[in-house]
Amino acid sequence: MANSAALVRLRKELKSIQADENPLYKFIGLEQDSMFLWSLWIFGPPGTAFEGGAFRCLVRFPSSYPMDPPSWQFLTPIFHPNVYFDGKVCVSVLQQPAQAQRSNGFWMPTLDVPGVCQSVLSLLSSPNPLDPANAEAATLVGAAFCV
């Protein structure tokens, strides 16, 4: 059974992201007509290796949202140090405080979908090769920083 607080929050965020004019992300629609599954486009930030790219993403919200974070998965294949081979993203703002390796930057119920989009865009702009989900990509990014 869906949490009514989660549905209220998601409806509010849905209206917000549909009105958002940020050129680097765009709401596509609900997957399977579920308020808990959102499809988005993320566009590669200018000046990055991902510039010009369009990446379809799936955001899954738990019934306990916003107390617990959503999960983020790239459906479009992407070669990135902080993205697992199945497309799931390793970013601190999507982790609970107990799971986060740092004492800051973890999930807080005040974060919203546009804020998470910004975090994912930041990850595309500034990969973290020291906390890799994809070791091969991390090695290449780490080598690029040493040049």
- Active-site positions? 90
Strands (E), 5-131: 25-30, 37-43, 54-60, 71-74
Q: Residue 63 in contact with residue 36, Cβ under 8 Å?
A: yes
C-beta neighbour count of 110 within 10 angstroms: 7
pTM, 2 dp? 0.87
Q: How many residues does the chain have?
A: 147
What CATH number has the domain bearing residue 87? 3.10.110.10
Select from 64, 52, 18, 66 the least CA-distant residue to 38: 18
pLDDT in tens, 35-54: 999 999 999 999 999 999 99
Domain containing 137 equals 5-145
The DSSP secondary-structure symbol of 29 reads E
pLDDT in tens, 96-106: 776 555 555 78
When divided into structural domains, the chain yields a total of 1
